[in-house]
Amino acid sequence: MEHLSTEFAPMTQDEKSFFKAMGARIAEARKGSSITQTQLAEAMSVSQQTVASWEVGRRGVPVSVLPALARALGTTAEDLIGESSRAPAKRGPTPKLQQQVERLARLPKAKQRVVIEMLEGLLSQAAR
C-alpha cells in the first residue's frame, strides 16, 4: 500500500487542519485500542513512519485505506474523519459520553468489567 502517488498539489491550510485533526483521532483510537504504531502499521501493511505521519497530519490518509484503518482501530471511517458527531441526537448520550462509551467498548473484557464496577460503585454512592 506504500506505492501511493505523491504527485498532488501541496495541501491547503484547510486540508492541513483537517488531516491534523484526523490524525489526532487516529492516534486516540489507536491508543484506546492499546496498540502501538508498529502494530497498526503491520496490520495496514505500511511502515511505522507512515502511521506516525498520519497521526501528526503530515500525510493524508488515502480514502482507499480508510475502511481497513477503521476496522483495525475498532471504529468507523466516519469517526476517523470526524463526521459521526456533527449533530447530536435529541435523546441519548452527549457526544463526549458517547466517545467514552466507545472507548470503553474497545477495551479488553476484563478491563471493561473493572471500569464498570468502579462506575457502579461511584454511582451508587452518588445516589445516597
Q: Is 91 helix (H, G, I), strand (E, B) or coil?
A: coil
With beta carbons less than 8 A apart as the criterion, state whether 44 and 37 touch.
no
* Domain positions in the chain: 9-84, 87-128
The pLDDT, as a whole number, for residue 37 is 95
Looking at the domain 9-84, which fold is it? 434 Repressor (Amino-terminal Domain) (1.10.260)
Residue 89 phi/psi, 5° resolution? -70, 160
CA distance linking residue 56 with residue 59, whole number of Å: 8
Grid coordinates of 16: 492541513
Residue 61 has, within 13 A of its CA and on its CB side, a CA count of 29
List, in order, residues 6 or more apart from 55 with CB less than 8 Å away.
Answer: 23, 24, 26, 27, 30, 37
Residue type, 78: E
Q: Return the pLDDT at 52.
A: 96
Answer positive or negative: Cα dihedral of 67, 72, 76, 78: negative
pTM: 0.60
Confidence (pLDDT) at 92: 57
In the numeric block, the cell 471511517 is attached to 77
CB 84 within 8 A of CB 73: no
Q: Each residue's pLDDT tens digit in the chain (128 positions)? A: 444 444 567 878 888 889 999 999 999 999 988 899 999 999 999 999 999 999 999 998 998 999 999 989 988 899 999 886 545 445 555 667 777 778 888 888 888 888 888 888 888 888 87
